[in-house]
C-alpha cells in the first residue's frame, strides 16, 4: 500500500495492461489531463486511453462507508428496541410460552433471546423485536 500517488512524467513510458492488445504493454504518456489522470498511448497498437491513478484512499473510504451503513441499520433497529424498552419500563415482561396468545406491543421475556417486544401479531406467529434482531415466534398454540 506504499504507492506513490503521482503520474508518470509526460513522454515517459510505463508498463500497464492494454485492452486492445489484451496484454501488458508499454504506454507513452501523452499529457496529464488532471492531477490523477493522463492520456496515454499504447506503443504497440497506438490505442489511446485515459490512465487513472489507483485510488487507494478511495477504496479504503468505500470499505469504511460499507461498514458505516451496516452500523446505521443496526442502530436503527437497536433504536426501536430501546425506545420500546424505555416506554414499557413500567410493565412487567410476560414469560414467553407458545401456548400464550400475545398482543401487539406486549413485553415478553424469552428464555433464550431475552427481553423482547411484540411488533406484529399473526394467527399462530408473532414478530418480536429482541435486542439484536427481530424474530418470528410461534404463539397461541392450543
Positions that interact with Zn ion (CB under 5 A): 18, 20-21, 25, 42, 44-45, 47
Would you state the cell numbers that stand for residue 136, as one nine-digit string?
A: 418470528
Q: Which is nearer to Zn ion, 18 or 129 (CB)?
A: 18
> What is the nearest approach in angstroms of Zn ion to the Cβ of residue 46?
7
Rounded Cα–Cα distance for residues 21 and 15 (Å): 13
Tell me the C-alpha distance between 40 and 121, whole Å: 64
- Please state, in angstroms and rounded to a whole number, the distance separating the CA atoms of residues 66 and 77: 17
Query: Closest CB to Zn ion belongs to which residue?
Result: 42
Residue closer to Zn ion by CB (options 44, 60) is: 44
Q: Cβ 44 to Zn ion, closest distance in Å?
A: 5
Closest distance of CB 51 from Zn ion, Å: 13
Q: Are 98 and 141 spatial neighbours (Cβ–Cβ below 8 Å)?
A: yes
Amino acid at each position: 500500500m506504499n504507492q506513490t500517488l503521482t503520474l508518470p512524467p509526460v513522454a515517459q513510458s510505463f508498463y500497464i495492461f492494454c485492452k486492445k492488445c489484451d496484454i501488458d504493454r508499454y504506454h507513452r504518456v501523452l499529457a496529464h489531463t488532471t492531477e490523477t489522470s493522463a492520456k496515454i498511448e499504447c506503443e504497440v497498437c497506438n490505442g489511446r486511453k485515459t490512465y487513472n491513478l489507483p485510488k487507494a484512499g478511495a477504496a479504503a473510504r468505500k470499505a469504511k462507508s460499507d461498514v458505516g451503513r451496516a452500523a446505521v441499520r443496526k442502530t436503527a433497529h437497536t433504536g426501536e428496541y430501546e425506545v420500546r424498552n424505555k416506554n414499557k419500563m413500567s410493565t412487567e415482561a410476560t414469560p414467553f410460552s407458545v401456548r400464550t396468545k400475545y398482543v401487539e406491543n406486549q413485553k415478553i421475556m424469552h428464555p433464550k433471546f431475552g427481553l423482547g417486544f411484540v411488533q406484529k401479531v399473526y394467527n399462530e406467529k408473532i414478530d418480536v423485536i429482541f435486542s439484536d434482531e427481530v424474530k418470528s415466534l410461534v404463539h397461541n398454540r392450543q
